[in-house]
Amino acid sequence: MKKTILVVDDSRLNLVIAQDLLSEEYRVATVNSGEGAFQYLKESEPDLVLLDIQMPGMDGFEVMRRLQESKTWQKIPVIFLTADRTEKTEETCFQMGAMDYIGKPFVPAIMLQRVRRTMELQGYRKSLEHMVEQQLQRITQLQQDIIIAMANLIESRDGTTGEHVKRTSAYVNLLVNKLQEKGLYKEILTSTYIDYLKKASPLHDIGKITVPDRILQKPDALTQEEYDLIKLHAKAGGRLIEENMNRLVDQEFVEIAQDLAAFHHEKWNGCGYPNGLKGEEIPLAARILAIADVFDALVSERQYKKGMTLEQAFGIMRKERGNSFEPALLDAFLESEEELKELMEEL
């Protein structure tokens, strides 16, 4: 299939010449103004734009500026067409992001060669971007697989299974979706933040790796000394992530993972640990995870207890509204009862 070139020039003669020179190898569309170019671009996306600089109304530089402001159009390569061959004009063309420029009057061989070269370079760029994207996807998947493996290993030490990680992540996802529906914290809950929150949530108990097995696996009630040792896992988790992941992944991901690990046992009323943070001093990610984590702990069967029904768990969590949990977040979670029932059946 032929590549498409859009030629933008106010001269009918130049449009005809460009059409004749290029139509054997390319599909050529022509418009005689900047305004006409954007009308065309609303319907189609060419592989290359040949853009005249001197045009009445919207000149070529203004067209280029608008193209560069658009995420959709900024990747379309542009070659400027100009009779002004001064050094300043050439410099301006490249500063604005042009791939090349072609002088007027057109020299057929030069015009065709420059168009061919630009098309080839664009093909190489797209191929490279595709390769980079594929490699990034592989790295991202490998990173997530490692995170899940680490989380499952840690969970298995206290008699639970990797299913806790899966369920908690699912409950986090459900709550975040509900918050988006309600328009809560939309300035924080960007698409990137949500993606990182979901991917990092399995790491929230990574600090348990520092807790002795005799405490994690103890079937009886813990002594105060043992409970104090368990509580150290939150601070340890934040430290482990900071020390071991800072050079491996995106900094925003690391910060969210740290917040989850270090602060998911903080309470809205300030009576949690390790720092006794209160209210919005607690990072949003940790406040969200705390609800999902506690809910799963209540409804799940463990070696030392049976799982509660959803209604029983909700009853306990309602009593902690404004104490352990932020009211707005808990209300959103409790409103998701039907979705939770379906999700629990799936899980």
> Please, where in the chain does CATH 1.10.3210.10 lie?
158-346
Q: What is the 3-state secondary structure (H, E, C) of 233-281?
A: HHHHHHHHHHHHHCCCCCHHHHHHHHHHHHHCCCCCCCCCCCCCCCHHH
Identify the pLDDT of residue 313: 94
Task: Check residue 285 and give its pLDDT.
Answer: 97
Q: What is the pLDDT of residue 276?
A: 95
Q: The whole model's pTM is what?
A: 0.62
Predicted pLDDT of residue 162: 56
Q: What is the pLDDT of residue 190?
A: 93
| Cα(23)–Cα(5) distance, integer angstroms | 9
Determine whether domain 4-129 maps to CATH 3.40.50.1450: no
Return the pLDDT at 16. Answer: 93
Instruction: Specify the length of the chain in residues.
Output: 347
**DSSP character for 98?**
-
282 contacts: CB under 8 Å, gap ≥ 6: 263, 266, 268, 272
CATH 3.40.50.2300 range(s) for the chain read 4-129
What secondary structure, in 3-state letters, does 129-182 show?
HHHHHHHHHHHHHHHHHHHHHHHHHHHHHCCCCCHHHHHHHHHHHHHHHHHHHH
Amino acid 174 reads L
May I ask the CATH class of domain 158-346? mainly alpha
Mean pLDDT for each 10-residue chunk of the chain (347 residues)?
92 93 93 94 94 92 93 91 84 88 88 92 85 75 69 64 78 95 94 91 86 79 86 90 75 91 96 95 97 92 77 95 96 93 85
pLDDT on residue 159: 56
